[in-house]
Chains A and B, each alone.
Chain A
Amino acid sequence: MPVTLEDPRIVEFDVRTDEMLVNMGPQHPSTHGVLRLLLRTDGEIVNEVTPHLGYLHRCAEKIGENLSPVQWIPYTDRMDYLAGMNMNLGMSLAVEKLIGMELPEKAVVLRVLIAELNRIASHLVGMGAYGLDLGTFSPFLYAFREREIILDLFEEACGARLTYSYLTVGGATHDLPATIPIPPGLASLTHRSPNMKLSWLEAVSMFLDWLEPRIKEYHTLLTRNHIFIKRTAGLGILDRETAIDYGCTGPVLRGSGVDWDLRRDGDPIYTRMYEGFDWNVAVAPFKDAPREAVLGDNWCRFYVRMQEVTQAIRLVRQAIEKYPTAKGMHRVPHKMATKLPKDECYLETECPRGAMGFYFVGNGEVNPLRARAKSSCFCNLAPTADLCEGFLLADIPAVVGSLDIVMGEIDR
């Protein structure tokens, strides 16, 4: 029997490679919040990425114009909700600079202590969530176990776990508590009695003693993991010029090899805080990087954060030593109805995610004429379109995750 052309057994596959538009987000687990990436894909290859922002927009700047700066502090907590203390600090410093306020030594040391502890917590989430983006769950659980203790400590210090409003204009709202019950997580991890009482500083010290050897374990678990290196090293390369052109700051900039940290190179009112502290700026390239790593790739950005945790631990330890003998009070009184001078001030501070800038224009009134929060993640997210072009769909979370964005801060 001759085979006819219309043999029903022959199935012709219609393989077309049409371009397709894919919406990644806004409710996508690896976009770190409500970010929508509009992807133009050709099969698995992504040809174009268009980020769409604004899902969390609250117009915090308009709110800031109708409140006194002290009243605006709780709103800064809710911008970068993973590093509320650093946001409080940045805003308070900008106001202090504008009204010309000098802080006693104790308040300054307290601020360094609190801000660096929050930096550890924030980078732990960054590390854990990045592992999650790449499909490994364990680092996330470890990171959150450690962070929980920091949150417990913050809760003892100011009563809140996430939205602290603790560092305020003139210092901090309260002094550190003299005795606290040991955080339950810390008690079980260090095999102490859960009824133990100790001072806040001792608890931090005990926590750091426990955390420090763990960093090495994270490196074994994640940083040096073969699969992790394969998925991050050599991918998402952001070169030095592009990073500067896009106004990237923080770990993203340092991952591209720019030796710039505002704690060392910033405004005098900010760098003064870190005088007398012994620490280093973590900046790529690293001597101990794997062979596959290229300057400015995902791995470098991630490793900068991990190094910053180590440096933050050093800073906190030194602050703990300095605090009991520091002179002055934890705050200087500041009236909420203080009128702002007819001047303006823009101040950037080094938040865990980059340089967060606050800009106040005063006009002789209590409320500022303009309150502006320049978001660091906003700028760090801007090169996404360039970074992701021509990549596989599965690599998009690896690139976006390495920028470590928080949408609350981008959308404000």
Chain B
Amino acid sequence: MNAEEILNLLVDEFGSERITGSNLAAMDPWIEVAAASIEEVSRFLKTDERLLLDHLNNLCGVDYFEPDEKKAAKFGHDPHVEVVYHLSSYTHRHKITIKVCVPRWKDDQAGQLPEVPTVSGVWKIADWHERETFDLVGVNFSGHPNLTRILCAEDWVGHPLRKDYEFPLEYHGIRGK
């Protein structure tokens, strides 16, 4: 199936309220899914006979934000965080990219992580990928069985891949910067 067919199938199944956008002209065509329905859509993507997207190639977060005010005008994106799911199927040999867009901070309060439902119940590897995304990008995957830091130290503060992240000046007596 190509990306257009997958998109049509998803829109038929879930309606355009839950399949909120798409870009089929992109190098990797992507479909945007509303955050609240990602788990349901994922389950469909994995189990439906026509799709069988059983391999989660990659799951990561992208912070769309330009901290420099001078450059912000040219940035071309509204500030938001994207969670990107790269999927492929061993059976049908097709692939698709799914995106979930959430605000950078929940309720616009800096420090409150945006919430995305976990898909670790659908693909087991999502467990670790989501922990990494939580750790580095700062997305709260609700319903995750063990959402703890995986690469940074347990007591690390902040999420390094946020564009406005400030490197700590000191960590347990080790000077930074």
Contacts and interface: CB of A to CB of B under 8 A. Distances in A.
Chain A bound to chain B: yes
B150 A370 contact: no
B72 interface: no
A247 B56 contact: yes
Interface in B135-172: 136, 149-153, 160-161, 165
Interface in B117-140: 123-125, 127-128, 132, 136
Interface stretch (B3-11, B58-66, B107-115): B58-66
Q: Which of A98, A242, A265, A346 has the most CB of B within 10 A?
A: A346
Nearest to B150: A53
B57 interface: yes
Given A345-B27, A363-B76, A370 B62 contact: yes
A343 B124 CA distance: 29
Contacts of B150: 53-54
Given A346-B97, A364-B76, A372 B160 contact: no
B27 A378 contact: no
Contact of B152 (A57, A97, A258, A346): A57
Nearest to B26: A343
Interface residues of B, number: 36
Interface in B87-107: 90, 93, 97
Interface in A260-288: 260, 265
B57 A374 contact: yes
Contact of B60 (A57, A98, A359): A359
B58 A372 contact: yes
A260 B88 CA distance: 12
Contacts of B39: none
A246 B28 contact: no
- The secondary-structure label for the interface of chain A is mixed
A62 B161 contact: yes
B55 A247 contact: yes
A97 B74 CA distance: 25
B116 to A, nearest CB: 17
A54 B152 contact: yes
Contact of A372 (B60, B76, B123, B149): B60
A225 B140 CA distance: 49
A54 B57 contact: no
A59 B27 contact: no
Nearest to B62: A370
Contact of B151 (A57, A346, A383): A57
Given A355-B57, A361-B62, A245 B124 contact: yes
Q: Which of B56, B64, B77, B128 has the most CB of A within 10 A?
A: B128
A170 interface: no
B151 A246 contact: no
A77 to B, nearest CB: 19
Q: Which of B26, B97, B125 has the most CB of A within 10 A?
A: B125
Contacts of B149: 54
A359 B160 contact: no
A210 to B, nearest CB: 38
Contacts of B26: 343-344
A379 B58 CA distance: 10
Contacts of A53: 150-151
B124 A62 contact: no
A363 B123 CA distance: 30
Interface in A340-378: 342-346, 348, 355, 357, 359, 361, 363-364, 369-370, 372, 374, 378
Nearest to A54: B151
Given A61-B136, A372-B58, A382-B128, A245 B152 contact: no
Interface string A163-202: 0000000000000000000000000000000000000000
B127 A382 contact: yes
Contacts of B63: 370
12 contacts: A59-B136, A59-B161, A62-B160, A247-B123, A265-B93, A344-B28, A346-B28, A359-B58, A361-B62, A364-B74, A378-B132, A379-B128
Given A247-B55, A363-B77, 11 more contacts: A53-B150, A57-B151, A59-B136, A244-B90, A247-B57, A344-B27, A359-B58, A364-B76, A378-B132, A382-B124, A382-B125
Interface of A: 53-54, 57, 59, 61-62, 65, 97-98, 242, 244-247, 258, 260, 265, 342-346, 348, 355, 357, 359, 361, 363-364, 369-370, 372, 374, 378-379, 382-383, 411-412
Closest 3 CB pairs of A and B: A247-B125, A54-B151, A374-B58
